[in-house]
Amino acid sequence: MIAKYTRYNQLAKLLAILLGALALKSFYSTAGVNELRWILAPTTFLVELVSGRTFNFEMHAGYMSSDNSFLIASSCAGVNFMIAAFLMLSIAKLWQGRLAWKFIPAAFVISYATTIVANTVRISTALHLQNSRLDFAGLSANQLHRLEGIVIYFGFLLLLFLLSERTEIQTTGARTHSHAVRLVHFMLPLLVYYVTTLGMPLVNAIYRQQFAASSFLEHSTFVVLAPLLLMAPFVLIRGRQRTANGSQQTADSKQQTASRQ
């Protein structure tokens, strides 16, 4: 009976998480810049502090720089990243069997705050690239802007995941049973990122009959490859840690055997 209740409780939490993410995605797909000031206003405020630039709000357009050279529009809101961060934090807890109902709104608040910081870094970087006229690997300005966004947003998603894992270990003393399990768990940010940046936009475009194969292919190429390259150092570090720990355990086992003899 208790096991059945626990299973239904877990399913209810998963449903609440998915409905929350879908509701936010549905809102964002039709929201204009006026409806997104709750996230664009604090983002612009931080961008002004970091860059020293001044932005003014223009109705139905966004926050325009004082020299009219840069617009912080609805596409800069980072809501897709916020959805990804919310899903990742909540599902990670659910996966570990430690998701309390009160953590779901907390995950939303954490995701919101992280999104504002990530937006600030991305927009400030874009302003710097605009001024420097950087030529990178023959990429066009739009392609470079897309690559910069993917690297920054997925980088923040990885960082948020690692911080949440470290906090979980420090607060509960929990330890995963093997490095293999940790490595599988480590793939969660990648899967969530792919779902929110490829899966959801693809379904939405097909539903609205706005699917363009050529543009989606270019977009998906960047989205698939860039996070894999960004993850490679972390995976290598985890692999070396696994090898080192395995060697240490073997040495300890041999030492214990020798001492018994």
Q: CA-based angle 64:73:45, to the nearest 5?
A: 60
Spatial CB neighbours of 84, under 8 Å, sequence gap ≥ 6: 153, 157, 189, 192, 193, 195, 196, 197
Token pair for 247: 């060697």
42 lies in some domain = no
Q: Are 158 and 234 spatial neighbours (Cβ–Cβ below 8 Å)? A: yes
Q: How many domains does the chain have?
A: 1
Residues 198-203: contacts with CB under 8 Å, at least 24 apart: 198/223, 198/224, 200/25, 200/80, 200/83, 201/80
Q: Are 157 and 186 spatial neighbours (Cβ–Cβ below 8 Å)? A: no
60 lies in some domain = no
d(CA 18, CA 21): 5
Tell me the whole-structure pTM to 2 decimals: 0.83
Spatial CB neighbours of 48, under 8 Å, sequence gap ≥ 6: 54, 55
Please choose, from the candidates 145, 130, 133, the residue with its C-alpha nearest in 3D space to the C-alpha of residue 53: 130
Please choose, from the candidates 78, 117, 82, 86, the residue with its C-alpha nearest in 3D space to the C-alpha of residue 188: 86
Query: Measured in whole angstroms, how far is the alpha carbon of residue 213 from the centre of its chain?
Result: 25
45 lies in some domain = no
Written as one letter, the residue type at 149 is G
For residue 1, the model assigns a pLDDT of: 59
178 lies in some domain = yes
Query: Tens digit of pLDDT per residue, the chain (261 long)?
Result: 566 667 888 999 999 999 999 999 999 988 999 999 999 999 999 999 999 999 999 999 999 999 999 999 999 999 999 999 999 999 999 988 888 999 999 999 999 999 999 999 999 999 988 776 666 666 777 778 888 999 999 999 999 998 988 887 777 665 544 444 455 666 889 999 999 988 887 877 777 776 677 777 888 888 988 898 888 877 777 667 666 555 555 555 556 655 655
158 lies in some domain = yes
Q: Is 147 exposed, middle or buried (0-12, 13-18, 19+ CB in 10 A)?
A: middle
Alpha helices in 173-212 (DSSP H): 179-185, 188-194, 200-207
51 lies in some domain = no
d(CA 126, CA 50): 12
236 lies in some domain = yes
Q: Are 54 and 65 spatial neighbours (Cβ–Cβ below 8 Å)? A: yes
Q: Which domain holds residue 177?
A: 2-30+78-250
Phi-psi region of 31 (alpha: psi -120 to 50; beta: other; left: phi over 0): beta
Please choose, from the candidates 3, 193, 18, 180, the residue with its C-alpha nearest in 3D space to the C-alpha of residue 91: 18
Print the SS3 string covering 202-243. Answer: HHHHHHCCCCCHHHHHHHHHHHHHHHHHHHHHHHHHHHHHHH
224 lies in some domain = yes
For residue 173, the model assigns a pLDDT of: 60
For residue 238, the model assigns a pLDDT of: 66
